[in-house]
């Protein structure tokens, strides 16, 4: 059996009431969830940079190892060429071996220079690593503090939030699918999260613009879905203003 317009309005209005209570709970947490997320992202970025520094240090250490191996090879060749130089048969052979000796000596000097440069880079990277670790340690303290604050706030309202979310799931089942999609779309664009409001004191409960009397009469009847002409929110009904009667003054009878 299809729901009447009045039933649809009551269902969507009830959902709004639940969502407003959930919004109030989340609002109490303020910017803490975003701050926690930002700190987690920041620390993840530091961890990536730390890993990069470690990889660069390993690469420089491997370079130093390779340069040291190169020096050993050159020293072996120098020893070999020196022995050959003792047994040359002519000046041409002597000059050729001398050039090879000079070349290997140059290779050793270049390798030693490269080792020194790589060592300096390693020292700098280690300093950068220490600085970054110090910054990361401080940010981790901030994160732990923010997480504790958030955990305390969440735990205080956890039971109520769970209850409301359970009620929300049940409430959604009573709402027309098409109407629910519209509701979610309006809520996403509404600054205060209100998609369904009542007409209060002759004005929209969302944007506070005046709702004409004839339109209020239509809203009261709940025979069709009516939205605010100004903000597009669903108008669920009209709240009658209760006017308290002032007590009548007692007439005093003159004697």
Average pLDDT score over residue span 130-135: 96
Residue-level pLDDT at 249? 58
- For the cut 90, the answer to whether the pLDDT of residue 44 exceeds it is yes
Backbone angles phi, psi at 196, to 5 degrees: -125, 125
Mean pLDDT for the chain? 92
- For the cut 80, the answer to whether the pLDDT of residue 243 exceeds it is no
pTM score above 0.85 = no
Enumerate the β-bridge partners of residue 210: 203
Residue-level pLDDT at 88? 86
Average pLDDT score over residue span 11-23: 96
The C-alpha torsion from 58 through 60 and 66 to 71, rounded to 10°, is -140
Residue-level pLDDT at 66? 97
- For the cut 80, the answer to whether the pLDDT of residue 247 exceeds it is no
Q: Comparing C-alpha atoms, which of 142, 72, 157 is closest to residue 111? A: 72
Residue-level pLDDT at 231? 94
- For the cut 70, the answer to whether the pLDDT of residue 167 exceeds it is yes
Residue-level pLDDT at 177? 93
Average pLDDT score over residue span 187-204: 94
pLDDT in tens, 53-82: 999 999 999 999 999 999 999 999 999 999
Average pLDDT score over residue span 157-172: 95
Provide the pLDDT confidence category of residue 240 given band limits of 50, 70 and 90.
confident
User: How far apart (Å, rounded) are the C-alpha atoms in residues 73 and 168?
Assistant: 77
Backbone angles phi, psi at 210, to 5 degrees: -65, 135
Residue-level pLDDT at 255? 45
Buried b (16+ CB within 10 A) or exposed e, 69-86: ebbeebeebbeebeeeee
Average pLDDT score over residue span 116-124: 97
């Amino acid at each position: 059996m299809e729901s009447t317009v009045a039933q649809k309005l009551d269902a969507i209005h009830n959902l709004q009431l639940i969502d407003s209570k959930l919004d109030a709970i989340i609002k109490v947490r303020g910017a803490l969830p975003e701050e926690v997320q930002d700190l987690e992202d920041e620390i993840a970025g530091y961890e990536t940079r730390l890993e990069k520094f470690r990889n660069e240090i390993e690469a420089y250490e491997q370079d130093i190892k390779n340069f040291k191996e190169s020096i050993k090879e050159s020293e072996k060749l120098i020893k070999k060429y020196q022995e050959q130089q003792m047994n040359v048969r002519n000046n041409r052979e002597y000059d050729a071996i001398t050039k090879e000796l000079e070349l290997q000596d140059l290779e050793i000097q270049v390798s030693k220079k490269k080792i020194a440069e790589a060592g300096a880079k390693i020292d700098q990277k280690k300093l950068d690593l220490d600085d970054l670790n110090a910054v990361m340690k401080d940010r981790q303290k901030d994160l732990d503090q923010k997480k504790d604050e958030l955990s305390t706030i969440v735990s205080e309202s956890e039971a109520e939030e769970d209850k409301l979310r359970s009620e929300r799931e049940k409430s959604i089942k009573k709402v027309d699918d098409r109407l629910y999609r519209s509701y979610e779309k309006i809520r996403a664009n509404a600054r205060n999260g209100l998609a369904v409001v009542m007409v209060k004191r002759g004005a929209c409960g969302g944007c506070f613009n005046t709702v004409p009397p004839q339109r209020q009469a239509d809203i009261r009847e709940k025979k069709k879905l009516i939205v605010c002409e100004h903000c597009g929110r669903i108008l669920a009904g009209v709240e009658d203003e209760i006017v308290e009667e002032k007590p009548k003054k007692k007439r005093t009878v003159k004697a």
